[in-house]
Structures are given as structure tokens and as C-alpha cells.
Chains A and B, each alone.
Chain A
Amino acid sequence: MTTTAPARTAAVAAIGVGLLGTIAGCAAGDASADVGTVDESYADGTYTADGSYQSPNGTESISVTLTIADDVVTAVEIETRPTNPTTSQFQSLFAEGIADEVVGVDIDQLDVTVVSGSSLTSGGFREAVATIKADALVG
């Protein structure tokens, strides 16, 4: 089992219809669903942000790169920078999980007070996404 951490790259070929599809999915059985509403615009481009989080082994870091086109996240890259083998395992599993799924949802969909389901790594991830979001915000 490797304990080094090569950058894991998940370049996902997503397109604009991803967002539409997601809105349709959200609205299933409820035409008034508003979760797909886009109320902010983002400049197209590639954004990278670093997040850190507290693990039982101390502070660990993770770097997230998002590519945004037409307010849709079209690619995610995650680079883990573990400081010890244990965290390397957690982070690579997390990165693999992310890579499994196609992205294509406007990140404004996260505009809720609480996100339920997160665990060790996601604190750092969420922080990184929040920074990206702020960087990408037009105006």
C-alpha cells in the first residue's frame, strides 16, 4: 500500500447540460423546488484553493482545483498533501470517491446553513471550495 501521495486528478468532461439535468433531478415530484436556482455568477476559469483541517494526527492540508464554465463546475482536481501515512490513506480514499462521480452542479447549490454528511476531510474541502467560490465571484 503506497503511502506517498501523487496528485490525483479527476478531469471530468462535464458540459452545461449537467446543471439542467440536476435541476430536473432536484425538482422530481416537486415543481417548485428551488435548489437549482442560480443567484450568482462566476467568471469562467480554473481556480485553486488550499484547505486545512484538524485530524487526530494534527493539521493536514488538501488542495482543490475547480474549473468553472458557465456557472457549472466542469472539473475537479484534488491534490492531497498528507504529513503522515495515516492521513494519506484517508485523503486518497476521499479523492477517489470524488473522482468517481461526474460533477456538473452549480456550487451555489451549497448555499444552505448546514451540510449533513461530511466527515474528517470535508472540513478542509469545504473551506477550499468556499475560497474558490469567493475568488470566482464576479464583481
Chain B
Amino acid sequence: MPSSAEAATGHQRYDGSVFEAIGTVWRIGAGAHTDARLGDPLDAQTLAAVLARIEQFDHDWSRFRDDGFVGRVAREPGIHQLPADAPPLFSLYRELHAATAGRLSPLVGRSLEQLGYDAEYRLRPAGEPVAAPQWDDAIAVRASSTGLTLETVAPVVLDVGAAGKGYLVDLVGEVLVANGVTDSVVDAGGDARVRGERSTRVALEHPADASKAVGLVELRDAAIAASAPNRRAWGDGLHHIIDALSGHPVAERAVATWVIAPTAMLADGIATAMFLADPEELGARFEVEWAMMGRDGSWRSSAQWPGELFAKGERT
């Protein structure tokens, strides 16, 4: 579906396939373009396959739906068959859980609900923050002949918000490859992956002003993701990045983080984990480059960060 801007002007920025799904704008372009255009739109069959893949992921993993896997686990304890795409996601969550000493966890759904970030978007805290259950107490993931199973002894509200969207960007890219589209950019509201021979310029959006950029990188066969608590905040100190150990939103040690990684899932997960652990340690442990902007506009980044970070202070 073309944006209204495209419909009105035919402006080249809005080429490719642009649509909205799971609460964000998806922009997908095909072909090894070298300019700033998104690229060729997807053919109808490929686009339908992409939309179906997104719908399936949302059905399986959304905390806001009760008809899928997450909804089932939130209702009843027992042995649940994990969705077929679960292994990489759970594997990363396990690593992030270890790397953050338990502070990043997929079990924070209940904590988020308590703070008001629930299916109804109440956005009013229901009471004091509640810590997430301990991973090993609450869930056991086992391999079976039919894939992974998740065993719970009590209802658990899973939340894969830290890496789920990035993972879906990767999965959509796989759908493109399966349909013969090997050169592509898939952008889901600013979390993006570039595949194939194309090289794509990415602006780092100013955390407080979407009309400005604070940095610039060029991606080739890589992914980028950002995390900014203030962009999903619903009250003073209330936002979606939760310390699983306390159930509190994390203190905002930065206004925004960006991560470049081989996959969008990893980039997404680390961009969140940077609020919960030392970025230097994460950078040593995972194959990522990272940058974070402090509240005063200052930068910290990994030594090999491949792009430009615009310095503060020289701005008049």
C-alpha cells in the first residue's frame, strides 16, 4: 500500500513496498540499487508471503493476542510446543539473560502489565512493580522429536519485545530470499537489514526530533537496530525496557542506542541489553558494533563503529 505522500507526489523516497503491520511501518525494497531509493516493490505473490509471515509471527508471539503461543502460555501451565521459529530467538534470549546477569529476560510480560503496558494499553500502573520470575524456576525449554517444548509450572507472560521485531525483520528477509529476492532492504520502523549486493545509507534519528539525524552509517549485508526508552514511554520514568530482577523500568543511562550486527535479531537484542549491562562487555561477547547517545548528547561507541556520529557542541 503506498503512503499518502507517495500517492500525492510520486516522490521517489516512497518507492518499494510500504505498509503498516504490528504497529510499525514496514518499508521493503528489492534490487541492488546504489542510490537512496528503497528499491523495487515486491511482486504481489512475494508481498502476500511477507504479510502472511508477519501475521503468523504476531499470532505466535504477541503478548497482546490471546489466540497464539504466548497467549496460551499466559493462561495455562504445562508443556507447550514452541513455534517452529523459536530456537534462534530463545537461544539469543538465553545468552542475553546470561550477559546481563538476569536483567534481560523474556519473562517480563507480567512486569510490563503491572506498569500499565498491557493489551488494552491502560498505561496506568496497577501497583508496585513486580519482578519477573526467575528463568530456571519458571520455564524449561527442551528439545523433543517435534522441536522445542516449553514447560511451565504456572502461567507465565512472555514478552519478546527486546529482540522479536528484529527477528521478524530477519524472517521477512528469508521469505524474500525464498521468493528469489536476494538483494533487499527490510526496514521495520527503523530496525533494518540489508541483504545481498546493495549498500544502503542509514541515518541515526535524533532521539528528540525525527526531522534530524545524529549519525550516518552505510550498511552492506548487515543489520541495524535502535532502542530509545523515551519513544515508548507512557509516563514519568515509565517505559518498556524493564529490569527483570526488579520489575522497574531501567534508569535511562542513555537516550538512545544503536547496534550494527549480522542479524537484525542480534542488533535489536543488544540495543536493548545496552540499557541493562555494560556495552563494552556486550561488545566483547557478541559480534556487534554499538553506539549510545547520553542525555547530554555525548557519544560512546565501540572502537570499530563503522559510521559517523555527529558531535554535539559544534551545533549553534
How extensive is the interface on chain B, given as a class? 35 or more
- Minimal beta-carbon separation of A54 from chain B (angstroms): 4
A51 to B20, CA, bound (A): 13
A114 touches B187 (CB 8 A): yes
B24 touches A120 (CB 8 A): yes
A86 to B20, CA, bound (A): 19
Among residues 193 to 210 in chain B, which have CB atoms less than 8 Å away from a CB atom of chain A? 200-210
A24 CB contact (under 8 Å) in B201, B226, B314: B314
A130 touches B11 (CB 8 A): yes
CB within 8 Å for A21 and B315 given contacts A97-B208, A114-B192, A127-B5: yes
Among the listed stretches B70-78, B125-133, B229-237, which one makes contact with chain A, having 4 or more residues with CB under 8 Å of it?
B229-237
CB within 8 Å for A101 and B209 given contacts A25-B311, A118-B190: yes
Task: Assess whether A43 is interfacial by the CB under 8 Å rule.
Answer: no
B4 CB contact (under 8 Å) in A52, A73, A101, A120: A52
Among residues 88 to 130 in chain A, which have CB atoms less than 8 Å away from a CB atom of chain B? 89-90, 93-94, 97-98, 100-105, 107, 109-123, 125-127, 129-130
A56 to B38, CA, bound (A): 26
B-contacting residues of A (Cβ < 8 Å)? 15, 17-18, 20-22, 24-26, 28-30, 33, 35, 51-57, 66, 73, 76, 86, 89-90, 93-94, 97-98, 100-105, 107, 109-123, 125-127, 129-131, 133-134
Interchain residue pairs A-B with the least CB separation, the first 5: A117-B205, A21-B316, A119-B231, A123-B25, A28-B311
